Amino acid sequence: MPPAKRLVKIGLVLALVTAFVLSGTVWLPLYSLGPGPAREVLPLIQVTGHPEYASSGRLVMTSVRFRQLTALGALLAWLDPDQAVVPRSDLFTPGETKTEEHQRAISQMDQSKLDATSVALSDLTGYPREHRPGALVEGVVAGCAADGVLYPGDLIKAIDGQAVGGAAQASRLIESAPSGSTLTFDIRAGGEEHRVDLRRAPCGGRDEPLVGVSLISNFPFEVRIESGDVGGPSAGLMWALGLYDLLTPGDLTGGRTIAGTGQIGLDGTVYPIGGIEEKVVAAEHAGASVFLVPQGDVAAARAVGGDGMALVPVSSFQDALDYLGSGS
């Protein structure tokens, strides 16, 4: 073979090898979405100061697993019917790092646990009228003084040295401070107590002065929910159902495996979530006979099928209780 042709052939081989190597090692701004782990919620909830009741079945929350792709990974994910390929912009806020995204997702999960607990206890007890001292941080306004300092679940015990009895009192103490003033908060978070100073001023795109927190009163007894490293707001409905089932002598499951998803509001509204198609598959893999679906996600869930699994639309916590309580 002439030297020139040999060099061309060697060059082509090297180019192909390089392309193959790069296809599996260079990360693209693409991510795969697929069914994540389905976790039983009842073992993850513990209460202190209230009787607990066992269930014969399982209440399961579903999740979505996502990972960044190389060109080769994108091809393999595209060929997998249980995977979707989406651009980075579908998952991350512009300019947001992976660390920041993770912290945001964990904060969303923490807020969902608070909202779920509030909904269940409001239905079963005298909460929020009856509560222990203190105010819980339910949410934080981006761009305000509390952003990155306080987090959902932090307990405010005192403001400027005055003990906080509940959310209403905490709000009054904050709102009575002049714009531009600094308030001192005594906080209990992660089992430790600390003090932070926060300035009340216009922020977060609003004209009125804010510290930047939304508050709910402390719960009447201790509720602990272990979510591990799972983030996002979509487990709210299942946390609420799990806590309700744990605190009542009846059995919502009826011996079945009940899966579900949906963000829950403090008023019990169930909101649509992302990744419903992947969560239907996750519910199937968990052996669920019923999948509770936010009303706004029903069409997308039914397009996936469900393979004999009952897809039950719910728009509120009460809708879910009514369905499960009927033994359907």
Residues 172 and 40 in one domain: no
pLDDT score of 1: 54
State the pLDDT at residue 327: 55
Q: Which residues of 118-157 are buried (b: 16+ CB within 10 A; e: fewer)?
A: bbbbbbebebbeebeebbbbbbbbeebbbbebbbbbbbbb
| Domain final residue pick, 164, 197, 218 | 218
Selected residue with higher pLDDT from 304 and 154: 154
Give the CATH number for residue 183: 2.30.42.10
Q: Of 201, 218, 235, at which residue does a domain stop?
A: 218
Per-residue pLDDT band at 119 (split at 50, 70, 90): very high
Its domain, for residue 287, covers 32-66+115-123+223-325
Alpha-carbon distance of 157 to 153, in angstroms, equals 12
Q: Are residues 270 and 202 in the same domain?
A: no
Average pLDDT of the chain?
Answer: 87
In a domain, 158, yes or no: yes
| Residue 16 pLDDT level (bands cut at 50, 70, 90) | very low
Say which residue, 20 or 30, is predicted with more confidence: 30
Count the residues in the chain. 328
DSSP 22: H
- What is the pLDDT at residue 18? 43
- How are strands ordered across the β-sheet holding 257-260? 39-40, 58-61, 257-260, 290-294, 310-314
CATH code of the domain containing 294: 3.30.230.10
Position 90 in a domain:
no
Note whether residue 171 is domain-resident. Answer: yes
Average pLDDT over residues 76-103: 73
Does residue 89 lie within any of the structural domains? no
Q: Domain for residue 81, yes or no?
A: no
78 occurs within a structural domain: no
Which of 202, 218, 234 delimits the end of a domain?
218
Residue 26 confidence (pLDDT): 62
Whole-angstrom Cα distance, residue 276 to residue 261?
Answer: 8
Give the strand pairing for 45-48 and 222-225. Answer: antiparallel
138, containing H or E segment: strand 135-140
pLDDT single digits (tens) 265-312? 999 999 999 889 889 999 999 999 999 999 999 999 998 876 789 999
228-243 pLDDT, tens digit each: 878 889 999 999 999 9
Q: Is residue 280 part of a domain?
A: yes
159 part of a folded domain: yes
Instruction: Look at residue 328 and tell me whether its pLDDT is greater than 90.
Output: no
CA 325, 225, 148, 194: dihedral to nearest 10 degrees?
130
The reply to whether 165 and 227 lie within a common domain is: no
154 and 208 in a single domain? The answer is yes
